[in-house]
């Protein structure tokens, strides 16, 4: 079965992040988009803030990748399950680079409008991330 345009947008979302192409990611969004990384407590509003957020991710994780495990889109809503991976090579606020790799599962819920993503919220496990990069001891 062929993917719908909405499903293709979700596939392109993952491909754009993995290609380290902030413009490609932003092109999928409405001008007034909201992008929330719930785990990090970051909310960006509009394409300009989204571009800056993406560039910060690419600077901290130069090999950042999103592997889309499953996704759906129906009407105005879509969801994705993915595996995020990379190497922590750049400093994050309060978290100096460790040079260690991470790989963890997460999910995203999107609200669609006119074939574009109007709102996107990512959910992933910070404890797993911190343990993998050596910033938190494992039990």
pLDDT value of residue 138: 74
Q: In this predicted structure, what is the pLDDT of residue 96?
A: 94
| Per-residue pLDDT at 120 | 98
Query: 108 with 122: CB under 8 angstroms?
Result: yes
- Domain ranges in the chain are 5-132
The residue count for the chain: 139
Q: What is the pLDDT of residue 75?
A: 85
Those residues with Cβ within 8 angstroms of residue 48's Cβ, 6 or more apart along the chain or in another chain: none
Q: Judge whether 20 and 89 are in contact, CB under 8 Å.
A: no
What's the pLDDT at 2? 56
pLDDT at 135: 92
pTM here is 0.91
Res 93: pLDDT:
85
CB atoms under 10 Å from CB of 89, counted, come to 15
Q: Mean pLDDT, 10 residues at a time, over the chain (139 residues)?
A: 80 96 97 97 97 96 97 94 98 92 98 94 97 87
5-132 carries CATH number 3.10.450.50: yes
At 42 the pLDDT is 94
């Amino acid at each position: 079965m062929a993917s719908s345009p909405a499903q293709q947008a979700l596939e392109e979302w993952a491909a754009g992040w993995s290609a380290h192409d902030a413009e490609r990611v932003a092109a999928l969004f409405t001008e007034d988009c909201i992008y929330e990384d719930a785990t990090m407590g970051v909310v960006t509003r509009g394409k300009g803030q989204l571009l800056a957020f993406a560039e910060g991710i690419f600077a901290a994780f130069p090999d950042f990748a999103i592997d889309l495990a499953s996704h759906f889109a129906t009407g105005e809503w879509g969801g994705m399950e993915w595996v995020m991976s990379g190497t922590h090579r750049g400093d994050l606020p309060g978290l100096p680079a460790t040079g260690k790799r991470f790989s963890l599962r997460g999910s995203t819920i999107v609200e669609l409008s006119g074939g574009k993503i109007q709102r996107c919220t990512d959910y992933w496990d910070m404890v797993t991330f911190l343990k993998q990069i050596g910033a938190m001891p494992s039990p």
